[in-house]
Amino acid sequence: MDKQQLQHLKECESREWIKRHRQKARESGANAAHLWWRKVSYDIARIRGQSAFDELRDEMNRQK
C-alpha cells in the first residue's frame, strides 16, 4: 500500500468517526455523544497506541 492509499484510508476513517459522532449526538444528545467518544477514543489509543489516535484526531479536526 503506497502513501497516497494510506492517506485516503485515514481520511475515510476520520469521516466515518465524524459521521458516527454526529449521529450519536442526534440520537442521544450532545453529552451522551461526548461520553461515548471519550470511551471510543480511549479504546483506540489503548489498542493502536496514543500516536495513532493523535493522528486520527488531527485528521478529524482537519476534516471538520
Tell me the pLDDT tens digit for each residue of 12-27. 999 999 999 999 999 9
Cβ(24)–Cβ(32) under 8 Å?
Answer: yes
According to DSSP, residue 1 is labeled -
Once rounded to an integer, what is the mean pLDDT over residues 43-63?
A: 97
Q: Which residue segment(s) compose the domain that 44 sits in?
A: 3-63
* Element containing residue 64 per DSSP (H, E): none
Distance CA 14, CA 60 (A): 5
Using DSSP, state whether 17 is helix, strand or coil. Answer: helix
Closest CA to 53 of 22, 5, 17: 17
Total tally of structural domains belonging to the chain: 1
Once rounded to an integer, what is the mean pLDDT over residues 51-58?
A: 97
